[in-house]
Amino acid sequence: MGLAAGMSAALALTACNSGSGGGSSAEGDDDTVTVRGCTPNTPLIPSATNSTCGLNVLNAVTARLVHYSDNGEARTDLAESIATDDAKTWTVRIRDGATFTDATPVNAQSFVDAWNWAAYGPHNQVNAGYFSPIVGYDSVHPVDPDGEEGLGQAPTPGSTTMNGLTVVDDRSFTITLKNPDSTFPQRLGLVAFAPLPTSFFIDQGQEFGEEPIGAGPFILEEWVRGEKIVVKENQDYNGPSRPRVKTVIFKMYDDTEAAYNDVVANTLDVTDVIPSSAREDERYQDDLDDRWVANEKGQIQLLRFPDEDEDDSYQSNRLRRALSMALDRSELVKLAPGEALVPATGWVPPGVAGYEADACGQTCRFDKAEADNLRDNAGGYDGTIRITYDAETPSASNPQMWTEVCKEIKAAINETCEVVPASAARFNDLATDDQTDDLLVIDKTMAYPSIDDFLYPMYERYGVGNYADYSNADLNDALARAGSRANLDEAFTAYQDAEDDLINDMPSIPLWYVNSLAGFSDRVSNVKLDAFGLYDLTSIVVIG
């Protein structure tokens, strides 16, 4: 199985070129585009950055082994190929001629050193966990016995390097995983996996964090604190994603409303946030006319059933299916301001590699008569159905919507239902300890764009997000088989089969997928946000 410059029967990554060219901006420079920015809250180090403010910049100035297509598929970037015979040991071949913006070459050591540094526990990198599937991670990042919040210190690592990473030659290295993982290359496009130049290690990233050196399509030219970050086209970039503009200025805004108003006035080219005030009654569509775009985002909202040890009233899958079919999703999403939500037809959102349309089938379609029939066959629910949501999280805190969900349940299957708002802290306790008999509104956002990230953590017996202790032996086996496939197409098909198995138990009810919204000036086109909600700066075109 291999990832190469074309998709074959074996696992493959496909490279594509987004083109090159010039542009214009709201500031009047034909080669410059201005976008809403915000101040990064950490140094601009790939393994230390997980906020949009910093990721937008690092996404522009770094390149990784792969980048993502519009449908979430990994395609070669700095990698020439990524191959395996067993989904456990991967051989990476790096593209010839790639260089950092300090003119030093990108080689195998650039990746191995970067990943070892990021994973090393004492460096306290927020993205260290991404490297946990690699053999030797536990030696460089031992478990802290009393957790990150505890008073005690984590044990001293027994090693500074993971023995699952081995440099073969200047352009090749191997990655050995603890367990087979057929979709492992899907995560290698995350910013955390960017290579680092040798200069990074001279001062352990102190200078790099202020002036990052990458191998991406842009180079950081200037950072005026509190005012702007300027990136310019990297003239030496020879990868697949050449930008169509010469300069991008991230103008710092503390207020998303101000940025939006500047886009409406055509004095800012792009904002990645449409404020809630403009979403109300879809005012932004009047303000911007056709100067807005809704992009698929790797995010889904679900209703999660409680652990059967807490409440066995939901044990019947007929009742679970009845609740799902009682909901008219196409009407409910209209209660969300703007084009923010799309009715879910499965447990995996579009824009994610391996996505299968209509995976949930009839069970996720509104059918009042069938819902009532299923409820009668199940014997109904013993008590009042309670729906608890996080009232402090913007994507979930829509009291009107959850009230309407309860009304639809009552109307379709004649069950009493009530809505319970919870603080973020209280909701987190309920969601992670699952000592509740409530239905919980769960917001699942992808870590990386692959179907397995929406299935394995949530529904595998020992998945890190399976707080309801759901377990189905057939599903566990199906997920294990999918993960061990040595062919990516076969792996995606196997994961889709596993998703189909969820219909039998309905451990959660898919509600809707979450879109990201962007607005732009009349001087640019082809504006996109990627599946992470980040700017796709290489796609923007200036039209006037």
The CATH number that applies at residue 378 is 3.10.105.10
Q: Under DSSP, is residue 440 helix (H, G, I), strand (E, B) or coil?
A: strand
Mean pLDDT, the chain, whole residue set: 91
Instruction: Give the per-residue pLDDT at 89.
Output: 98
Q: Side chain identity at 393, as an amino acid letter?
A: T
Question: Domain check: are 301 and 420 in the same one?
Answer: yes
Specify whether 392 is located in the same domain as 495: yes
- Last residue of one domain, picked from the residues 153, 176, 211: 211
In a domain, 198, yes or no: yes
- Across the chain, which has 544 residues, the per-10-residue mean pLDDT values are 46 38 47 96 96 97 96 94 96 97 98 99 96 97 75 86 99 98 96 98 97 98 97 96 96 96 98 90 93 94 87 87 98 84 96 95 98 94 93 80 96 96 91 86 94 96 90 93 91 96 94 95 96 95 89
Which helix (H) or strand (E) segment holds residue 283: the answer is helix 283-288
At 18 the pLDDT is: 35
pTM of this structure: 0.90
Q: What are the residues whose beta carbons fall under 8 Å from the beta carbon of 147, sequence distance 6 or more? A: none
Phi, psi of 301 (to 5 degrees): -110, 140
The verdict on 199 and 315 lying in the same domain is no
Same domain, 171 and 314: no
Number of domains in the chain: 2
Q: Rounded to an integer, what distance in angstroms lies between the CA atom of residue 256 and that of residue 278?
A: 11
pLDDT of residue 4: 53
> What is the SS3 assignment for 404?
helix
275: in domain = no
Q: Examine the domain organization and report whether 201 and 305 are in the same domain.
A: no
* Per-residue model confidence (pLDDT) at position 11: 47
Type of residue at 121:
G
Which of 211, 230, 246 finishes a domain?
A: 211
**Secondary structure letter of residue 201 according to DSSP:** G
What digits encode the pLDDT tens for the residues 282-291? Answer: 899 999 999 9
Do 328 and 431 belong together in one domain?
Answer: yes
Same domain? For 408 and 311 the reply is: yes
Residue 165 and residue 46 in one domain? yes
DSSP state, 270? E
Domain boundary residue, one of 148, 178, 211: 211
In a domain, 475, yes or no: yes
Assigned domain for 90 exists: yes
Long-range Cβ contacts of 360-364 (<8 Å, 24+ apart): 360/324, 360/502, 360/503, 360/510, 361/503, 362/325, 363/321, 363/324, 363/325, 363/503, 363/506, 364/324, 364/325, 364/329, 364/509, 364/510
- 194 and 78 within one domain: yes
Co-location of 318 and 202 in the same domain: no
User: Are 303 and 204 within one domain?
Assistant: no
pLDDT at residue 150, as a whole number:
64
Is residue 49, in this structure, part of any structural domain at all? yes
Q: Which domain holds residue 197?
A: 2-22+39-211
Q: What is the C-alpha separation between 101 and 215, in angstroms, rounded? A: 6
For residue 522, tell me if it sits in a domain. Answer: no
Q: Does the residue 432 lie in any domain?
A: yes
393 close to 362: Cβ distance less than 8 angstroms: no
Does 217 reside within a domain?
no
CATH number, domain containing residue 147? 3.90.76.10
Q: Do the Cβ atoms of 465 and 302 come closer than 8 Å?
A: no
Which runs of E-coded beta strand occur in 39-100? 66-68, 74-76, 79-84, 89-94
Query: Same structural domain for residues 311 and 432?
Result: yes
Contacts of 41 (CB under 8 A, 6+ apart): 51, 53, 54
